[in-house]
Amino acid sequence: MILLLKILLQGFKTDKEFQFLFILIILLLIIANLFYTTIENWSIIDALYFSVMTMATVGYGDLTPTTDISKLFTIIYTFFSIGAFVSFTAKCVQIMLTNHQARQRFISNSKERK
């Protein structure tokens, strides 16, 4: 959990792509929540749960859209949100690997100086 917080903080401080992807994910979740609470009359928690499960491609099937407009929205939301989620996850992994490589170089350089 602490590693995740470090990655998030570093991403916000140093990486424009990270910032864009994070904001995009938040916007997608807000839009989906507004849509599902309004059109499907779901609670905020149910709408958030469905939006996150769809974004992460989990899809338990316990909640499903019931109207045609909701089904069409979900199709479009799925394409955008999965792409954003995968890109954001890849960016987090990239930051983590970059940090690991920098630590390894620091350790290696420290040993060489001794």
pLDDT at 99: 82
- Number of folded domains that form the chain: 1
- 22 found inside a domain: yes
pLDDT at 114: 61
- 71 found inside a domain: yes
For residues 110 and 14, the model is more confident at: 14
The enclosing domain of 89 has a CATH number of 1.10.287.70
Please state the rounded mean pLDDT for residues 43-63.
94
User: Is the confidence at residue 110, as pLDDT, over 80?
Assistant: no
pLDDT at 104: 83
- 63 found inside a domain: yes
- 1 found inside a domain: no
State pLDDT tens for residues 16-41: 999 999 999 999 999 999 999 999 99
- 70 found inside a domain: yes
Residue 42 — left, alpha, or beta (φ > 0 → left; ψ -120 to 50 → alpha)?
A: beta
What's the whole-number average pLDDT of the chain? 91
pTM, whole model, 2 decimals?
0.82
Round to whole Å and give the CA distance between 57 and 12.
Answer: 25
- 2 found inside a domain: no
Contact 55, 28 (CB under 8 A): yes
- 57 found inside a domain: yes
Q: Is 76 helix (H, G, I), strand (E, B) or coil?
A: helix
Query: 79: how many CB neighbours lie within 10 A of its CB?
Result: 10
Q: Which domain holds residue 51?
A: 7-108
- 75 found inside a domain: yes
